[in-house]
Amino acid sequence: MLKILFFLPFILLSCQTKPPLFKKGPAIPSYWPTKSWKETSPEKQGMNSQKLADMFKIIKDEDYNIDNISIIRNGFLVADYYKYPFKKGDKHIIHSVTKSVLSALVGIAIDKGYIKSVKERVINFFPEKISSRKGEELKNMTLEHLLMMSSGLKTEDNWRYKWKGLTKMRTQEDWVHYLLNLPVKEEPGKEFDYSNGVSYLISALLFKATKIKPQDFAQRYLFDPLGISKSHIKWQLDPRGVHIGWGGMHMRPRDMAKFGLLFLNKGVWEGKQVLSKSWIEASTQTRLKSDIYENYGYQWWNGPAMYKLEKLWRRKWNFNLVKRDPIENYYMAVGFMGQFIYVVPDRNMVVIFTSHLRGGQNFIPKALMDEFILPSVVSNSPLKEKEEILQKLNSYISNANKEKPFTWASKSEGVTQKNFFKRTKEPSLELRFPKGSQKSDLVGEEEIMALTTPEGARFSLSIRDIPKGVPLKEASPILKRLLKSAGNQVKLIGHESFILHDKTPAFKSTFEWKFLKTFNLRTEFVSIYKKDKWILMSYSYDSLDRSSRSLFEKDLDQMIKGLTF
């Protein structure tokens, strides 16, 4: 009897009647957000503001590195959250969400006859890249196998392999040749094996079939119809000028939402079929059982997270041993460090997350989705607004975007104001850095500040004692040893003197090396001796991203010009 009484609450909870699903599929939009989104309160779209306020309170209290959340229901923007320094209108790296955009481009290419079908053999597009023997080995591999992440190729280029294969591929001049000549470990179509290189192959195949660069193809047939400006898209290139396919795209969250809304509306935009309904259904349905999330389609995911890790976060916020999966069917585009586009036909909803989340925190957006955002939808009709709750919700959203100075060790060691860093302690200095840069953790005792720029470079300042008997121009061997302590293959590729704006002499030393023996970096040090201290500016970025090098160098030059004592 006691056992029955103990388990009764859990039995009752699990047997509770689930709230009914609302009308399946999207209603006809009352307007199209081609030029701009219309905003309403959550209640006007049948949503509970208290649930959303509870979510934003947790994000604030836990200080999660979520840069943006945009929630759209019935085509209206009901919440648009930005955490300083990220602002409305800024582009954000979307990482592997790029794959879902690429999948849509393949669908458009098939709709327009550039590609016959997903059943086309990959070797037909690249006969010049492989030998007859290799062609026989790859004869059964189709475009569909690439889209499903079941190519059979031994790419070893995801997180499980510490991106070993991806790093190796990126050092090659011809990535297509490299990939198609990898060992085949299994028959195509048999097993899911997440691969960044395979998504690159899709991009290269699209380029070969259309004879139009993927970003130009996207602009003409996808972005222009949705009102997404060319200036609002950035997409990384390979050494031969092909867009990399697996990631490297930057978009504005509101433009990501337009892409999600296109899928919600079965490919229709302003009465025109931009992407066929059949492709949207084919690409978002489950094709294979996967790993990070349960199911995979054509570069889209659905289902719970691996080991249902999102439920650990849900229990942390609202403890309950029984955490049910949501009753809604939805699918998602997923990117590294917490980038998401959620499409929820059952609720006529699109939700966007952009973030800088690491490790297990990658699953926080899905946990927030399941614990707060989906349950906030309680009606298909407008609800009565409660002014006090709306004010609380809007306060969380507006306060998140207010400027917050960054400090590290102490204010005297340095503090930011807008896009300036100021140090009052001797040697005092001032530095201008790129707008939108994010605070980073310090590494080592000598660092006094560290930022990550919007382009993805890590920038830091260190204050050290001047090494005895070492002139400024001879400091590069010390810097080389410093890098060797964190990696290998360290090469000095440049060393030059120059004069700062305030007439202070300085040296710039440029190295290429492998951080943790894995990641190819280019690090540029600026060394200055001032008031018995060695001021060391460090600026590191991906050395294999050649298409963005000019942007990295431009940011560094502006910081050097803005450094004064």
CA 312 centroid distance within chain: 23
Cα–Cα distance for residue pair 187/399, rounded to 1 Å:
54
E strand segments, 336-414? 339-344, 349-355
The 3-state secondary structure of 464-516, one letter per residue: EECCCCCCHHHCHHHHHHHHHCCEEEEEEEEEEEEECCCCCEEEEEEEEEEEC
Cβ neighbours, 10 Å, residue 208: 15
Helix axes 387-400, 49-62, angle to 10 degrees: 30
pTM of the entire structure? 0.93
Cis? peptide before 382, omega within 30° of 0: no
pLDDT of residue 20: 56
pLDDT digits (tens, 9 = 90+) for 443-487: 988 999 999 999 999 999 999 999 999 999 999 999 999 999 999
Report the alpha-carbon distance of residue 460 to residue 406 in Å, rounded. Answer: 13
Model confidence at 7, in pLDDT bands (50, 70, 90)?
very low
* pLDDT at 194 exceeding the cut of 50: yes
- pLDDT greater than 80 at residue 75: yes
- What percent of the chain lies above the pLDDT cut of 70? 95
Say how far apart CA 212 and CA 114 lie, in whole Å: 11
Contacts of 405 (CB under 8 A, 6+ apart): 415, 416, 417
Phi-psi region of 314 (alpha: psi -120 to 50; beta: other; left: phi over 0): alpha
544's CB contacts (< 8 A; 6+ apart) are 167, 170, 171, 520
Pick the CATH number of 415-561 from 3.30.300.30, 3.30.360.10, 3.40.1000.10, 3.40.50.300: 3.40.1000.10
Model confidence pLDDT, tens digit, residues 197-242 = 999 999 999 999 999 999 999 999 999 999 999 999 999 999 999 9
Go through 40-79 and write b for each residue having 16 or more CB atoms within 10 A of its CB, e for each that does not.
ebbbbbbbbbbbbbbbbebbeeeebbbbbbbbbbbbbbbb
**Per-residue pLDDT, 10:** 42
Can you give the pLDDT at residue 8? 44
User: Max CA-CA distance within the chain?
Assistant: 86
Strand partners, 415: 407, 422
Q: Please state the separation of Cα 118 from the chain's center in Å.
A: 27
pLDDT at 324: 87
Q: How far is CA 498 from CA 465, 505, 507, in A?
A: 21, 6, 6
Q: How far apart are CA 442 and CA 433, in angstroms?
A: 17
Omega cis (within 30) before 85: yes
End-to-end CA distance of the chain: 78
64 pLDDT more than 60: yes
pLDDT one-digit tens code per residue, 14-54 = 444 445 565 555 677 899 999 999 999 999 999 999 999 99
pLDDT confidence band for 308 (50 / 70 / 90): confident
Residue 2: per-residue pLDDT = 47
Grade residue 547 by pLDDT with cuts at 50, 70 and 90.
confident
pLDDT, tens digit, for every residue of 494-528?
999 999 988 999 999 999 999 998 899 999 999 99
Q: Which of 513, 416, 524, 534 is nearest to 470 (CA)?
A: 534
CB neighbour class for 477 (10 Å; exposed up to 12, middle 13-18, buried from 19): exposed
Confidence tier at 491 by pLDDT (50, 70, 90): very high
Domain boundaries, the chain: 27-87+308-400, 98-235, 415-561
**pLDDT for res 11:** 42
Q: What's the CATH number for 27-87+308-400? A: 3.30.450
Residue 18's pLDDT is 47
What tokens appear for 213 in the block? 């660069």
| Rounded CA separation 88/80 (Å) | 9
Edge to edge, the sheet with strand 249-251 lists: 92-93, 249-251, 234-235
Q: How far is CA 251 from the centre of its chain?
A: 10
- What value does the mean pLDDT take over residues 119-124? 97
The pair of three-digit structure tokens given for residue 59, joined into one six-digit string:
């994000």
pLDDT over 90, % of the chain: 87
Residue 135's pLDDT is what?
85
Q: At residue 205, what is the residue type?
A: L
Q: State the pLDDT confidence band at 12, using cuts at 50, 70 and 90.
A: very low
Averaged pLDDT score across all residues of the chain: 93
CATH number of 98-235: 3.40.710.10
Q: What is the predicted pLDDT for the residue at 317?
A: 96
